[in-house]
């Protein structure tokens, strides 16, 4: 009987403790989550993916005497399986374009060459993230693409620490779903992306979100017939000329993104 009572008290104390902890967590969460937050895209918004991949990664493979056309075609084959530099090299070896005996060595060369990707951040990316950090505005990274490949680039760019949370997704609607979930936690959300279709998907669900459509492509590069210029802005050019369904604030740098 006595034992039963003590157990009962212990249960009550346990329940009170749990209630208390939940309340504290709730307070912490509401302090942290009220107010404003930023949602940032990675490729072509914070990171110059075209210069990284289509200029420098391509050049690194070319130094191994891999034909440019073969390299590009094989990229198209490897990409849908979840891209990595190692996988691309392994695929080229299987196809006979790279000798098996040098694969390990070349992997090492690529790993070393692209270990630090900070130089591919746009010059205003880190200052912008620091500005948000100073003003204690939480920011979330919403990155579209193969999760492992996206994580490799974000880690290499050394910016993970600026984000409250990082979301990697390969599914089309997923960004809008993440934004929808965050919308319940913040009074105001601002989103910056170079892909107006992503901004459209979010706007279609949540009209109150401030959307910034950033284009890092200089106007003269959009119509340039020069193959080197076209290659330099290979992916970003395609986004810059889309016609969005909703209206978004347009900008060419993060310095123009104000709150």
Which residues are at the interface with Mg ion (CB under 5 A)? 41, 43-44, 194
Starting at the edge strand found earlier in the chain, the sheet holding 249-251 runs 165-169, 139-144, 36-41, 188-193, 210-214, 249-251
CA distance 138 to 190: 11
CB of 191 to Mg ion, least distance (A): 12
Specify the residue, 43 or 190, whose C-beta has the smaller distance to Mg ion.
43
User: Which residue is nearest to Mg ion, using beta carbons?
Assistant: 43
Nearest to 140, CA basis, from 148, 150, 132, 149: 132
146 Cβ contact partners less than 8 Å away, ≥ 6 residues apart: 82, 83, 170
Q: What is the Cβ-side half-sphere exposure of residue 211, based on CA atoms within 13 angstroms? A: 25
Residue 193 dihedral angles phi and psi, to the nearest 5° = -155, 150
Checking phi first, is residue 114 left (phi over 0); if not, alpha (psi -120 to 50) or beta? alpha
Nearer to Mg ion, 61 or 83 (CB): 83
d(CA 78, CA 90): 10
Task: Name the residue nearer to Mg ion (CB basis): 8 or 238.
Answer: 238
Least Å distance between CB 165 and Mg ion? 18
**Which residue number, 41 or 146, has a Cβ lying nearer to Mg ion?**
41
Shortest Å, Cβ 238 to Mg ion: 11
Nearer to Mg ion, 43 or 200 (CB): 43
CB nearer Mg ion, residue 194 or residue 215: 194
Q: How far is the CB of 253 from Mg ion (least distance, A)?
A: 15
Query: Vertex 95, ends 80 and 99: CA angle to 5°?
Result: 125
Minimal distance, residue 33 CB to Mg ion, in Å:
25
Q: List the structure tokens of 197.
A: 């279709």
Least Å distance, CB 195 to Mg ion, is: 5
């Amino acid at each position: 009987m006595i034992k039963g009572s003590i157990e009962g008290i212990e249960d009550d104390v346990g329940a009170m403790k749990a209630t208390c902890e939940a309340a504290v967590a709730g307070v912490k969460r509401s302090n942290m989550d009220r107010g404003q937050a930023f949602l940032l895209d990675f490729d072509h918004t914070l990171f110059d993916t075209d210069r990284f991949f289509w200029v420098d990664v391509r050049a690194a493979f070319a130094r191994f005497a891999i034909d440019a056309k073969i390299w590009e075609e094989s990229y198209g084959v490897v990409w849908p399986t979840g891209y990595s530099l190692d996988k691309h090299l392994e695929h080229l070896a299987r196809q006979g374009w790279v000798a098996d005996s040098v694969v390990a060595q070349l992997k090492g060369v690529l790993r070393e060459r692209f270990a630090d990707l900070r130089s591919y951040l746009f010059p205003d990316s880190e200052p912008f993230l620091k500005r948000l950090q100073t003003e204690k505005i939480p920011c979330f990274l919403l990155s579209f693409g193969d999760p492992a490949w996206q994580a490799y680039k974000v880690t290499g760019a050394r910016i993970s620490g600026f984000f409250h949370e990082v979301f990697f997704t390969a599914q089309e609607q997923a960004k809008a779903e993440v934004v929808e979930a965050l919308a319940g936690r913040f009074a105001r959300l601002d989103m910056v992306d170079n892909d107006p279709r992503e901004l459209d998907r979010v706007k279609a669900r949540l009209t109150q979100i401030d959307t910034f459509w950033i284009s890092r492509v200089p106007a003269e590069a959009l119509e340039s017939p020069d193959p080197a210029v076209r290659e330099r802005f290979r992916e970003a050019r395609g986004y810059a000329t889309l016609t969005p369904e909703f209206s978004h604030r347009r900008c060419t740098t993060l310095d123009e993104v104000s709150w």
